[in-house]
Amino acid sequence: MRARSALQRVVYSAHDLSPGLDDQARFSRWRDIYTASFLQSGNVVRLSDRPFAATWEHAQIGDSLVARFEGTLQRVSRDAQQVAAHPVDRFCISYNRASSRQAMVQRGRELTLEPGTPAFFNLSEMLDCRSEHGEARIGFTLPRKTLLDSIPHAEDLVLRPLDPGDDALLHLRWYLDFLLERDGAALDPAMVAHVQSVLIDLLGLALGVGRDLAEASKLRGLRAVRFMTIVAEIGAGFADPGFSAARLAAKLNLSSRYIQDILHESGVTLTERVLELRLQKARRLLASGLSPALKVTDIALSCGFSDVSHFNHSFRRRFGASPTQFRPPRIN
pLDDT in tens, 263-302: 888 788 999 999 999 998 898 888 776 656 788 999 999 9
Per-residue tens of pLDDT for the chain, all 332 residues: 445 566 788 888 888 887 888 999 999 998 888 888 777 778 999 999 999 999 989 999 889 999 999 999 999 999 888 888 888 899 999 999 999 999 999 988 899 999 999 999 999 889 999 998 999 999 999 999 888 887 877 888 899 888 888 888 888 998 899 888 877 777 778 778 878 888 888 888 777 555 555 555 455 555 766 787 888 889 889 999 999 999 999 988 889 999 998 888 878 899 999 999 999 889 888 877 665 678 899 999 999 999 999 999 999 888 888 888 887 766 55
Do 178 and 231 belong to one domain? no
pLDDT, position 1: 40
pLDDT, position 311: 95
DSSP code, position 328: P
Do 53 and 120 belong to one domain? yes
Cβ contact 122:93 at 8 Å:
no
Do 71 and 148 belong to one domain? yes
Do 237 and 192 belong to one domain? no
Q: What is the pTM of this model?
A: 0.66
pLDDT, position 208: 57
| Domain-terminating residue out of 192, 212, 232 | 212
d(CA 214, CA 106): 23
Residue 46 lies in a domain: yes
Do 231 and 200 belong to one domain? no
pLDDT, position 240: 93
Total domains in the chain come to 2
| Domain-terminating residue out of 180, 212, 244 | 212
d(CA 63, CA 289): 21
Residue 315 lies in a domain: yes
CATH number of residue 177's parent domain: 2.60.120.10
Do 109 and 236 belong to one domain? no
Residue 291 lies in a domain: yes
Longest dimension (CA), the chain: 73
Residue 331 lies in a domain: no
Do 202 and 258 belong to one domain? no
Q: Which residues pair with 75 in a beta bridge?
A: 45, 130
Do 272 and 208 belong to one domain? no
Return phi, psi of residue 42, to 5°. 180, 175
Q: List the domain range (segments joined by +) for residue 265.
A: 222-326
pLDDT, position 27: 92
pLDDT, position 178: 87
CATH number of residue 321's parent domain: 1.10.10.60
> CB neighbours (10 Å) of residue 59?
23
Residue 332 lies in a domain: no
Do 58 and 145 belong to one domain? yes
Q: At residue 51, what is the residue type?
A: P
Do 10 and 96 belong to one domain? yes
Q: Is 111 helix (H, G, I), strand (E, B) or coil?
A: strand
| E-only strand ranges, 157-230 | 186-187
Cβ contact 158:319 at 8 Å:
no
